[in-house]
Structure 1
Amino acid sequence: MSNIRAISTPNAPAAIGPYSQAVLAHNTLYVSGQLGLVPGKSELVAGGVENEARQAMANLGAILSVAGASFGNVVKVTILLANIDDFQTVNGVYKSFFSGDTFPARSTYQVAALPKNGRVEIEAVAIIEDTKH
């Protein structure tokens, strides 16, 4: 089990339940779903779904960074939406965090509700070549 460890950073919101911000297993990083929560606080960023998506992606980026990764290492993303009508708005924000034309595999679902009455939650899986972090 020494090749499995929790990853955390104060630059992303602390877990609001019994889970880790991310877990690194060998060279695969599993990042827990990120809401549009302001790091250091337990509140959603103001301004609606676009700002929540941007904050969720920034939180995801902070966790990737502390693990020695970036959005270029992400291979799979799952997006949960409180309202599927927000799909295009979230896509616009999401796309801005990746460079080039190659995007991770992705699934997007509408759900009945999200924690903290969030509008969007984003989780990711990334491959890290150097796992000495």
Structure 2
Amino acid sequence: MKQVISSPAAPAAIGPYSPAIAIGDTVYFSGQIPLDPVSGELVNGGIEAQTRQVLANLQALFSAAGVRPEQVVKTTVYLTDLADFATVNALYGELFGPPAPPARVCIQVAALPKGAAIEIDCIASRQA
């Protein structure tokens, strides 16, 4: 059975989708952009602040789903500027580091919702 997962510590969906969906032991997390969960507004401060907010939003959803970062098996990182890759990679590695970081795709896109510079989605396994 499909279970909708959300958290008051993560932004509400800005469209007709769920922040996360669990089916059995697999949890699919919708792309998180750097929205402040209280105001619903994009955070200021450039790519570092935006990346930290995206990771915080994901962690809030992980907690609500009952998973830990090490149970994430796949991520997709969307950047509006690949010149930000090194900064994002360093911060990403703080959450998804060794010994077994998830599989990942990182791509540059023309634009993201609300003018965000970064979005990350992921899949986790509660068995991992």
Gaps of 5+ in 2: none
Match of 1:14 among 12, 15, 36: 12
Paired residues for 1:78-93 under 5 Å:
78-93=76-91
Deviation at 1:17, TM superposition (A): 0.6
Corresponding residue for residue 50 of structure 2: 52
Q: Deviations 1:94-132 (Å, cap 9, x if unpaired)?
A: 001134332100001101100010000001100013xxx
Corresponding residue for residue 104 of structure 1: 102
Gaps of 5+ in 1: none
Number of aligned residues? 127
Q: Output the CA distance in 2 between the equivalents of 1:123 and 1:32.
A: 5
Structure 1 pair 116/107, CA: closer, same or farther in 2 (3 Å)? same
Q: Deviations 1:43-66 (Å, cap 9, x if unpaired)?
A: 111110111011101100110111
RMSD: 0.9
Secondary structure of 1:29 counterpart: strand
- Percent identity reads 47
Using the TM superposition, name which of 9-18 and 98-107 deviates more: 98-107
Corresponding residue for residue 120 of structure 2: 122
CA contact (8 A) 1:35 1:56 kept: yes
Segments of 4+ moved more than 6 angstroms: none
Paired residues for 1:36-51 under 5 Å:
36-51=34-49
CA contact (8 A) 1:14 1:40 kept: no
Secondary structure of 1:41 counterpart: coil
